[in-house]
Amino acid sequence: MSNYSSILTLIDLATQQSEKAGLRLSQANFAYQEEIKKLELLTDYRNQYGEQLDNKMAQGLNMSAYNNYQTFLSNLNKAINQQQKTVNSNKNIVDHYRKEWQKAEQKRLSFQTLNDRNRLINRINENKTEQKLNDEMSSRLQQVRI
């Protein structure tokens, strides 16, 4: 019975580890998605600003205004590059926590499988014992009738 209690304790601990790892994965994934949204906003803004520059150039744009647009677009491109690095970093964090969760979940499932096998073996042994007792009773009843 202590083996049964020990395996249940291991299952509980592994479940807790898996849940904690899952929570960290969820939080990392949320942060990753937020960084993707920021990147998309920056990219959209850059595209809109580029279109605005194209329209202004078609209408005629002085050199000072053109230089201001170019400087701003350059700064936007730098911000986009930096945000892309942040997105990549967060992706690596998500991958790390996904592996951590998978490892914890595999451990939990291993303990659960071991527990299930032990319960099956115990059930088989109980059935054999019960069958043996039934056979003995049947044999005794046969002897009494004879």
pTM listed for this prediction: 0.74
Q: pLDDT at position 95, please? A: 98
Q: pLDDT at position 140, please? A: 82
Mean pLDDT by 10 residues, the chain (146 residues): 77 95 97 98 95 89 90 96 98 97 95 91 92 86 75
- DSSP, collapsed to helix, strand or coil, labels residue 1 as coil
Q: pLDDT at position 41, please? A: 97
How many domains is the chain built from?
Answer: 1
Q: pLDDT at position 137, please? A: 86
The amino acid occupying position 122 is N
Could you give the CA distance from residue 8 to residue 20 in angstroms, rounded to a whole number? Answer: 18
Q: pLDDT at position 146, please? A: 63
> Which residues does 4 contact at the CB level (< 8 Å), separation at least 6?
115, 118
Q: The domain that contains 10 carries what CATH number? A: 1.10.287.1700
Q: pLDDT at position 15, please? A: 95
Could you give the CA distance from residue 130 to residue 70 in angstroms, rounded to a whole number? Answer: 87
- Using CA atoms, how far residue 34 sits from 26, 29, 37, 91, in Å, is 12, 9, 5, 11
Structural domain boundaries, residue 33: 2-145
Q: pLDDT at position 144, please? A: 76
